[in-house]
Chains A and B, each alone.
Chain A
Amino acid sequence: GAGVSQTPSNKVTEKGKYVELRCDPISGHTALYWYRQSLGQGPEFLIYFQGTGAADDSGLPNDRFFAVRPEGSVSTLKIQRTERGDSAVYLCASSLTGGPNTEAFFGQGTRLTVV
């Protein structure tokens, strides 16, 4: 596609429920990233994929969070037993490679609200 696409754009869920957030990167981009942005803050790194594998998942806050990228393209961020503190905008980005001089392109984000 023309850019990074994230669905849904908004998600409201009840505390304790399970949610999945989807990211379609730019075609041909091998690197994919998830970030989380709380209100009034900058995005914070969650996880980095190079191809199908998670090269760095050190930013995932706890084991309720998990992400996959089974075919090296679309990625899904999964959150189990959601808590109100998980409410934030979840941003996905992709880049041609994971190298330091390749530009990352961001999607519009999914705004998650846990009530």
Chain B
Amino acid sequence: KQEVTQIPAALSVPEGENLVLNCSFTDSAIYNLQWFRQDPGKGLTSLLLIQSSQREQTSGRLNASLDKSSGRSTLYIAASQPGDSATYLCAVRPMDSSYKLIFGSGTRLLVRP
């Protein structure tokens, strides 16, 4: 059974720091991996989607990498800002049920001014 783990569960950093969020998954048979942002009381906003054949994707200050064979992904946030404060979720789309997203529990990020 596919399991997705995110470390750390919570992170507090001063504004301007570069930071890395980690995601690991137990089964490498995935189509893709997606990073989402969730603000309190809100739904999910897609940040980056990495196909299984890709190594990384970039969008602005965000860079996500994928090492499928080792079951790991990282989300790198450059020059963090207070507006980046949110919960970040990673999710994988398994090959045996490709319509599903299997989520981790998220990392709650606080960027202090």
> Using a CB–CB distance below 8 Å, which chain A residues touch chain B?
4, 31, 33, 35, 40-45, 48, 50, 55-56, 91, 93, 98-101, 103-109, 111
Q: Would B89 and A42 count as touching, CB distance under 8 A? A: yes
In the complex with contacts A42-B89, A42-B91, A99-B98 CB distance below 8 A: yes
- How many angstroms between the C-alpha atoms of A45 and B4 in the bound complex? 13
Q: Would B89 and A100 count as touching, CB distance under 8 A? A: no
Cβ of B25 under 8 Å from chain A = no
In the complex with contacts A48-B99, A100-B98, A42-B104 CB distance below 8 A: yes
B63-113 interface (Cβ within 8 A of A): 89, 91, 93, 95, 97-106
Which A-chain residue is minimally distant from B36 (CB atoms)? A106
Neighbouring B residues of A98 by C-beta, 8 Å: 98-99
- The B interface, classified by DSSP as helix, strand, loop or mixed, is strand
> Using a CB–CB distance below 8 Å, which chain B residues touch chain A?
4, 31-32, 34, 36, 41-46, 49, 51, 89, 91, 93, 95, 97-106
- B88 CB to nearest chain A CB (Å): 11
In the complex with contacts A99-B98, A101-B31, A103-B49, A42-B43 CB distance below 8 A: no
Neighbouring B residues of A109 by C-beta, 8 Å: 42-43
Neighbouring A residues of B42 by C-beta, 8 Å: 108-109
Which B-chain residue is minimally distant from A44 (CB atoms)? B103
Q: Would B106 and A108 count as touching, CB distance under 8 A? A: no
Smallest CB-CB A-B distances: 3 pairs = A42-B103, A100-B98, A100-B31
In-complex Cβ contact of A108 among B43, B91, B103 (8 A): B43
Which B-chain residue is minimally distant from A42 (CB atoms)? B103
Q: Would B44 and A91 count as touching, CB distance under 8 A? A: yes
In-complex Cβ contact of B101 among A4, A55, A104, A111 (8 A): A104
- How many angstroms between the C-alpha atoms of A56 and B89 in the bound complex? 23
Q: Would A45 and B100 count as touching, CB distance under 8 A? A: yes
- How many angstroms between the C-alpha atoms of A55 and B99 in the bound complex? 10
Neighbouring A residues of B45 by C-beta, 8 Å: 106
Neighbouring A residues of B89 by C-beta, 8 Å: 42-43
